[in-house]
Structure 1
């Protein structure tokens, strides 16, 4: 009988699996990428890895959010460990990339790829019904989107493909005869843009969206001191309040606002220009704390960058009764710190009278921190492991093939810069 040696089994540890984790990130083009991070990696490192994938330098406008266990959209605190946030608050290890801070004029965005991501963001908000527009505006936007995503109509034998393309907001009526009529109008609109470069169509699309009520705003349900229901919110201009029907009550610009805080379930906003303090009431203390932090984060960001400054005889598209103009931004090497992680609370809308209802009450991406400078930062080696899973192939209606040519990007950048310059020159004429 042969001599047999029995070796004792020892538990084997996978060092990589203990110290690393993989999270998925859904981009604005609806593609999903994967990022391998260490358990100590911050949200900032993950954002930088995504920025590398997108060749994006102007990361200060963007952030990452996830769906919380309470089904709210919660922004990642960029300076804190990502895994701890996902384990504590997240429903699953899936992140979403999006715009956090909006600007009143797209011409302020320096990089072509930044404008492209910005275009994808506002288009998603239109199609998801978060920003409302009239049927006429929707058709005009759809025509620009088709030109941006597919190019000239002459490349196709017919425009029947438009019937398979998402053209209109999801909360518009889906009556076959009406949709057919609208689609035909989009086809005509598409023809009128023949010869227009994609970057120019994207720029015009964003400029159209900038005029819509609710653009760049984030709102929450609250009550005033008389228990009247209203919405309070923030935008790149300042703090505002609106009736539930969307009618504006007041707006205070960032330059006129001092300290923002909360006392139990009440939110306090100090108005330095009037030596007064406004008070709004929420459902509970946690919501008041959350909103106060959101307002504080916005206040810090927009005051530091002087995005909106008052000027007579010019109007802000989001608040037509008020006048503003855009100032120079991001010309200093500024660093931003996070105030908080913030939730978004979407509000359902109903379609009425041929238009979509007022959009100012929807929470759009905004706040949170940027613990980094405006200059591009290299991601850590651990956070730069990105790959596109084969099961998540890009949809052609989101990423047309011409996006992958760096040479064409350079040409398109030059063209769009010339377009911006001519646009600015005509506005000063």
Structure 2
């Protein structure tokens, strides 16, 4: 028996080991080491991840990606709020989890709640190869709309909601979908019965679209919204006006009162930097400028300034570079050492294309339940970086999980037995005269950027240089040039592969895939055959210079063998520039009620019905964005000669050689950045001739007036102001009233100037005198003041009024009308299209705006510069038709 001893007996011992104390310390250490983090996903499901608190954010991110089985993971990230953090400053703005820093250091004593979100919004959903990735983007954008982070027009919100309904409920079924079948779904903010009725009407038009198709269409329309993918940062400009700055794949965007007022593209930005609460950008110098433009913005705090700077660094690296810059260690370097070291978009797309697409099944999450009369109004612009989770139905277990399929020829998770699979031509098996169907994820729409956009180096805490970049160096284009895709097809039970080819009229015309039928081998193969892909080889035979009939014969021969195996080596569509040959109308309008099709005399009415349908569905804008900006076969060599380069206001707005205006007796040579644009009106003798030109530079004002003299012009239409947003857009090439401006060959005297009551227009009268002959003539000058650069007029009524006044000002039908804005393509093209449409209406001829744009771009590149301008002029055309119809 062991007798008890007093504690005094241990005091003189030579050694002790405190087991109990060490056990308690070890337990505390184990407790401190472990960290439980709850991640909330885009479908509102939550999952708890257990990590060591010393690990970096990249470990947690990888666990999240593995949990979702997400392949195209680099577009996503984790956000956390600083509301409950000791480290925070009390703001409720969201922070992105930094993969390179400790999780514990970033989260501090937060409640360890993170949100899985899209961090880099892809410029085009067709770049996303996986259906599951597109679904995650769809969930994110749907959340952005419902929570008010994206403000959009009611018509756009209704259209997007109709795609949500199609994805969740499928085709409209009258026997299943009663009058109030949408009343329990939360589809748009401030939802009403009237809005639900409009959504239902559009839902009926989406028959046949699978959930993946509807979600792709949702993304394809959402990408055109001004606030798509923009996280706003509050700032003030140099005039101390409240503005918001956002970063996108295009560059830095400036908003004021919810309206986008400027875009500084990455191609125009040289440096980005910050110092304390000041954020700076340095712009690339144009050929016509002899100074550097440095723009500064006042941010709320030092941290907000640095956050914006870091966002710029990340977005520029991700979207514009092939790979992140190499990490370099400079022991004595000053300023922030932050850089983005994750994979870029180029690397992500390359890997997925080389690996191939794995077909997956997953469960889609339903829309949130709508609680009537309790919908919160959209948050203000200042609250758009904040998290606000709308009430939702509890998601089913594993709703966010996906299941991989190991079958050699995977089937889609959603199938449609009613899809018409009748294919009857010999070019691969697709019926050419099928109506225009829903968008296909394989159809890569072109990314439209601004050519003359206004997209900075002080000592700073952070400095980032944007590397030189050109179209030829585009990551996307280089990817396509470097990658050839091998596709293996087996015929279906009808012996068809499911695709069409075109081209091959001569050996120099490539063979291209013109159509891919849904749910056919060409559509379901991995990787998928896409419209616009160029065929390079067929079963080992080189067809890069083959004729069309040779290709058809090779395809037919493949059907004849027992296996029917067809091996295609293709060059992706993004690797070359091709004018998409969309012809309006893509289908024939059939009146409701089984009436006979409209007669030829009703062609104008039919075209207006098509125009209205295209505006409502968004198809009109989609076709516009596939049209080439510059004709691939027309040269601009004269403009690139050394002695002419500095005569161009913008380096990428150049006149075609075949239609350029040639000066005969100009002191500075025969070149001017201007093109003849002729618009003929069918069934009439009318041909409106324009000279589309850039706003004159100080060095080209003499050439401009020489052109007016030689071409005998008597009307000048100016669609810009002298200075816009602090940058010169056009040189003041005319004198003040009562004064004269003299050149070598001509003299210009201003005799009158008048501003209209709305202060939107200025009308001037000049007298132009030929010094050689001493002959004079009057020149009418009409300037539109209220038309923002890259934007649209505030009032369609004023725009139509101005266009009518231009038409009335024509004194001679054979004299060209000089039209210019800053670059001579955007606003210039809008006016030419509008006047052409009015002339067609008067002649009773149909109006197809896309054909008018195509005709203009065959004579001057990039006419009508962006989708918002095209939509505006199409809406104005329809409004003019309705007004004339009422009158």
Q: Normalising by structure 1, what TM-score?
A: 0.70
**Whole-angstrom CA distance in 2 between matches of 1:184 and 1:9:** 72
Residue 229 of structure 1 corresponds to: 242
1:425 aligns with 2:437: no
Distance 1:361 1:290, change over 3 A: same
Richer in helix (by share): 1
Residues 294-309 of structure 1 aligned to structure 2 (within 5 Å):
294-305=311-322
**Whole-angstrom CA distance in 1 between matches of 2:380 and 2:123:** 19
Distance 1:156 1:360, change over 3 A: farther
Q: Which structure ranks higher in relative contact order (CA pairs < 8 Å, sequence separation ≥ 6)?
A: 1
Residue 349 of structure 1 corresponds to: none
Residue 254 of structure 1 corresponds to: 266
1:167 aligned to which of 151, 174, 187: 187
Residue 85 of structure 1 corresponds to: 106
Cα shift readout 1:80-138 (whole Å, capped 9, x = no counterpart): 111221116xx421000011111211000122211111111111111112112222222
Which blocks of at least 5 consecutive residues in structure 1 are unaligned? 307-326, 334-354, 366-391
1:184 aligned to which of 193, 197, 213: 197
**Whole-angstrom CA distance in 1 between matches of 2:167 and 2:79:** 27
Residues 116-265 of structure 1 aligned to structure 2 (within 5 Å):
116-154=135-173, 157-159=176-178, 160-169=180-189, 172=190, 179-244=192-257, 246-248=259-261, 250-265=262-277
Cα shift readout 1:132-175 (whole Å, capped 9, x = no counterpart): 22222222211211221333344983455522211112xx2x6x
Shift of 1:256: 2.4
Q: Alpha carbon RMSD of aligned pairs, Å? A: 4.0
Shift of 1:62: 0.6
Distance 1:359 1:332, change over 3 A: farther
Shift of 1:252: 2.0
2:94 aligned to which of 35, 51, 73: 73
**Whole-angstrom CA distance in 1 between matches of 2:199 and 2:37:** 39
**Whole-angstrom CA distance in 1 between matches of 2:395 and 2:75:** 24
Q: Are the equivalent residues in 2 in contact too, given 1:217–1:360 (CA < 8 A)?
A: no
Distance 1:133 1:399, change over 3 A: farther
Distance 1:92 1:273, change over 3 A: farther
Q: Are the equivalent residues in 2 in contact too, given 1:132–1:357 (CA < 8 A)?
A: no
Distance 1:245 1:186, change over 3 A: closer
Q: Are the equivalent residues in 1 in contact too, given 2:243–2:254 (CA < 8 A)?
A: yes
Cα shift readout 1:179-212 (whole Å, capped 9, x = no counterpart): 1222233233333323321111110011111121
Cα shift readout 1:239-275 (whole Å, capped 9, x = no counterpart): 2323335251x32211222221112321111213353
Residue 18 of structure 1 corresponds to: 32
Distance 1:63 1:193, change over 3 A: same
**Whole-angstrom CA distance in 2 between matches of 1:115 and 1:418:** 12
Q: Are the equivalent residues in 2 in contact too, given 1:43–1:79 (CA < 8 A)?
A: yes
Distance 1:190 1:410, change over 3 A: farther
Shift of 1:329: 6.8
**Whole-angstrom CA distance in 2 between matches of 1:270 and 1:361:** 29
1:394 aligns with 2:414: no
Distance 1:151 1:288, change over 3 A: same
Q: Are the equivalent residues in 2 in contact too, given 1:132–1:358 (CA < 8 A)?
A: no
Residue 377 of structure 1 corresponds to: none
Q: Are the equivalent residues in 1 in contact too, given 2:269–2:284 (CA < 8 A)?
A: yes
**Whole-angstrom CA distance in 1 between matches of 2:385 and 2:20:** 56
1:276 aligned to which of 271, 290, 293: 293
Q: Are the equivalent residues in 2 in contact too, given 1:64–1:98 (CA < 8 A)?
A: yes
**Whole-angstrom CA distance in 1 between matches of 2:95 and 2:34:** 23
Distance 1:301 1:113, change over 3 A: same
Q: Normalising by structure 2, what TM-score?
A: 0.35
Distance 1:16 1:161, change over 3 A: farther
**Whole-angstrom CA distance in 2 between matches of 1:331 and 1:187:** 37
How many residues in Structure 1 have an aligned counterpart in Structure 2?
A: 349
Q: Answer with 233-242 or 57-66: which moved more.
A: 233-242
2:127 aligned to which of 85, 108, 131: 108
1:62 aligned to which of 76, 79, 86: 76
Determine which structure has more spread, i.e. the larger CA radius of gyration.
2
Q: Are the equivalent residues in 2 in contact too, given 1:66–1:75 (CA < 8 A)?
A: yes
Shift of 1:332: 5.4
Q: Are the equivalent residues in 2 in contact too, given 1:142–1:186 (CA < 8 A)?
A: yes
**Whole-angstrom CA distance in 1 between matches of 2:320 and 2:48:** 35
**Whole-angstrom CA distance in 1 between matches of 2:399 and 2:175:** 18
Distance 1:231 1:304, change over 3 A: same
**Whole-angstrom CA distance in 1 between matches of 2:59 and 2:221:** 34
